Amino acid sequence: MRTKQIIVLGGGISGYGSAILAKKEGFEVFLSDKGHIEERFRKRLDEWQVPYEEGGHTEERILAADEVIKSPGIPETAPIVRKIRERGIPVISEMEFAGRYLNGARCICITGSNGKTTTTSLIYKIMRDAGANVALGGNIGESFAYSVATGRYDWYVLELSSFQLDGMYRFRSHIGVLMNITPDHLDRYDHCFQNYVDSKMRITQNMNSHDYFIYSGDDEVIWAQLPKYDFRMKQLPFAAKNAVASGAGDAFLCDGKFTATVGSRSVEIDLAKMKLSGLHNAYNAMAAALATLAAGIAPAKIRRALYDFEPVEHRLEPVKEVDGVLWINDSKATNVDSVWYALESMKRPVVWIAGGTDKGNDYGPLKAFARDKVHTLVCMGVDNAKLVREFTGVVPSIVSTDSLDAAMQAARSAARSGDAVLLSPACASFDLFKNYEQRGKLFKQWVNEHLG
């Protein structure tokens, strides 16, 4: 019988892990990357004797595959993907592939337009601090497939993007968390919001009556979707504005505290005792508390871990206060909704640095906060015309720049004692930077080198 041929497209963290798991499981595997494969990934591929190519695709070999594992960063419009689809070759994600080899382990999966990285990190910390045998993966941490290939875990905590969900068919979340759904990545969804919504709702597929679905009871988009589905799993909504309740459990924020309940167990959290601030982090903490209660973690351990948790890098991360000006790195805010929460949490007058690759943004929801809190908008991008047009007459001063250094110099000139300089771009980073992490690191580096 012929050995099944697996092709892995993309040699980043998702691809190399998938290739190694395929090798371990006895498939004939080949990894192909149109660009450059990082040295750390090449080294592991060599250790596992996985054949690979970089700098281009050998189409004949790829189109002979029985199945293709596609990295989430490769769009459906890529010529090689179109040719694979035309041949009728199944295309799946790393998550779908690794989920076939869990050996009884369970998955807590987190998605949403915003808050998923912090919520995933919270859940992982709670589980790890409580002594659970747990791995972190998906969009953060180690490759899920590599963890499955090289370790034995009882739990996987996975942050899932819409692109990863799109390639998942039989995979099942035992505890699924949907933080919110707001317009994002519409350039990858034919500029159709419903296509993106449908992608996010895939977090619920294949769940059964033993599973838990945790979601925002304040998110109108999610509420509008619920009647379309015949859910069998236990539902656990969390909210701060709407009155929500479920027989299985729920969480509600009131007067600076929330109580999360799953079945007969509950935990009360005082937000004033957390190191995370802002309404968005209250939502993140409620979701994390519900998920870990559902996973069987003791309430006291949940409370302790939530109070100990430090902010995630690049998400409303205080960098330094110099001459009364607080510099804040929120580079991970790549869409309008993320910036809404960032501006909502600001307690000082703001110099706001924004801009980058626009993803079809509607800046309308930001204008009330911008009018009330922002005295200077520094636009940082190759093309700032839309930002300048949208916020003229809303923000008193707008400065257009085309580099990080120019933006930082402009922000320093505009900032007064008592202000916050907030890097919260509302856009992707690809016009000037490799990714949002590089943008955030260069922001922090500039602050530390040029100020105080």
- Structural domains in the chain, CATH included, are 5-92 (3.40.50.720), 102-308 (3.40.1190.10), 317-450 (3.90.190.20)
Report the candidate in 420, 415, 388 with the shortest Cα–Cα distance to residue 402: 388
Question: Cα separation of 444 and 427, whole Å?
Answer: 18
Strands 317-322 and 325-329: antiparallel
- Do residues 371 and 390 make contact, with C-beta atoms less than 8 angstroms apart? no
Report the candidate in 327, 381, 331 with the shortest Cα–Cα distance to residue 351: 327
Q: What string of DSSP letters covers 379-448?
A: EESS--HHHHHHHBTTBSEEEEESSHHHHHHHHHHH--TT-EEEE--SSBSTTTSSSHHHHHHHHHHHHH
Residues contacting 2, CB < 8 A, separation 6+ = none
Predicted local confidence at residue 185, as pLDDT: 59
Tens place of pLDDT per residue across the chain (452 aa): 778 999 999 998 899 999 999 999 999 999 999 988 989 899 999 999 999 999 999 999 999 999 999 998 788 889 999 999 999 999 999 999 999 999 999 999 999 988 888 899 999 999 999 999 999 998 888 899 999 999 999 999 999 988 889 899 999 999 999 999 887 656 666 778 888 899 999 999 999 999 999 999 999 999 999 999 989 999 999 999 988 778 899 999 999 999 999 999 999 999 999 988 888 899 999 999 999 999 999 999 999 999 999 877 788 888 999 999 999 999 988 888 789 878 988 889 999 999 988 877 889 889 999 999 999 999 999 889 999 999 999 999 999 999 999 999 999 999 999 999 999 999 887 778 888 999 999 999 999 999 97
State the maximum Cα–Cα separation within the chain, in Å, rounded to a whole number: 73
Strands (DSSP E) found in 10-130: 28-33, 52-54, 67-70, 91-92, 106-111
Predicted local confidence at residue 121, as pLDDT: 93
Q: CB count, 10 Å around CB of 152?
A: 11
Predicted local confidence at residue 357, as pLDDT: 84
Report the candidate in 131, 104, 114 with the shortest Cα–Cα distance to residue 284: 114
Rounded to two decimals, the pTM is: 0.77
Tokens for 95?
């998550």
Tokens for 125?
């910390």
Own/partner contacts of 367-373, CB < 8 Å, gap of 24 or more, are 367/391, 367/394, 369/340, 369/343, 369/344, 370/343, 370/394, 370/395, 371/395, 373/343, 373/346, 373/349
Predicted local confidence at residue 376, as pLDDT: 97
- Do residues 341 and 284 make contact, with C-beta atoms less than 8 angstroms apart? no
Predicted local confidence at residue 1, as pLDDT: 74
Q: Which residues pair with 92 in a beta bridge?
A: 69
Question: Cα separation of 178 and 116, whole Å?
Answer: 8
Predicted local confidence at residue 225, as pLDDT: 94
